[in-house]
């Protein structure tokens, strides 16, 4: 049985998941914006609209969230080795997609 939130987004955990297609990361192991600034980051996130790699909100610069604010691209996923979770900024929900392995294997 679906709860009220699931009914609101058509039975999907995230209303933007149907719009996701394959993306190529714009970096293999770094936040390019932090590198350009000479800064470090804590964790990496990948935009599921365009492949932009940005640092997480625990990082000083919060480039993944900044990318969302600048572009409106709603979905990111962890770009940390072995992690497979996703986050939707607009629906404010964290989830994993069954059958989709982590972007960067452990």
Q: Rounded to the nearest 5°, which phi and psi values hold at 36? A: -60, -30
* Distance (Å, whole) CA 48 – CA 89: 12
The pLDDT tens digits for 22-37 are 899 999 999 999 999 9
pLDDT at 1: 35
Query: Are 25 and 53 in contact, with CB atoms under 8 Å apart?
Result: yes
Q: What does pTM read for this prediction?
A: 0.86
pLDDT at 15: 86
Q: Helix H segments across the chain?
A: 4-8, 32-37, 63-71
pLDDT at 13: 82
Widest distance between CA atoms in the chain: 50
- Structure tokens belonging to residue 87: 């986050």
Confidence band, pLDDT 50/70/90 cuts, at residue 18: confident
């Amino acid at each position: 049985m679906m709860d009220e939130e699931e009914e609101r987004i058509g039975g999907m955990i995230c209303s933007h998941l149907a719009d996701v297609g394959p993306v190529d990361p714009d970096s293999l192991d770094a936040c390019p914006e932090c590198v350009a600034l000479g800064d470090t980051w804590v964790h990496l996130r990948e935009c599921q609209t365009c492949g932009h790699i940005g640092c997480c909100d625990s990082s000083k610069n919060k480039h993944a969230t900044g990318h969302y604010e600048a572009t409106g691209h709603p979905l990111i996923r962890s770009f940390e080795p072995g992690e497979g979770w996703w986050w939707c900024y607009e629906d404010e929900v964290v989830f994993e997609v069954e059958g989709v392995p982590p972007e960067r294997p452990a």
